Amino acid sequence: MNRFILLCFVLSIPFLSKAQFTVSPKVGVNYLWVGDRPQGLDRSSADKGWQAGVDLRLGKRFYFQPGIYYVNTGTSIRSLEDIKDIRTGKASFMKIPANVGFKLIDTWLFKMRIHGGGTANKLIAVKDNGDLQASDFNTWHYGANVGAGIDVLIFSLDANYEWGLTDLYTRQAGSTPTMFSVSLGLKF
pLDDT in the model for residue 2: 65
Which residues make Cβ contacts (< 8 Å) with residue 49, sequence separation at least 6?
29, 30, 31, 32, 71, 72, 73, 74, 90
pLDDT tens figures, 121-170:
999 988 766 677 788 888 999 999 999 999 999 999 999 999 999 988 88
For residue 39, pLDDT beyond 60: no
Residue 164's pLDDT is: 92
pLDDT of residue 176: 87
CATH number, domain containing residue 162:
2.40.160.20
Residue 5: pLDDT band with limits 50, 70, 90: low
This prediction has a pTM of: 0.81
Cα–Cα nearest to 112, from 151, 161, 63 = 151
Polymer length in residues for the chain:
188
Full residue range of the structural domain in which residue 168 is found: 2-186
Closest alpha carbon to 143 in 122, 168, 118: 118
How many domains are contained in the chain? 1
Q: With 70 as the cut, is the pLDDT of residue 18 above it?
A: no
pLDDT in tens, 58-115: 999 999 999 999 999 876 655 444 334 556 677 899 999 999 999 999 999 999 999 9
Structure confidence at residue 80 (pLDDT): 43
Largest Cα–Cα separation, the chain: 58
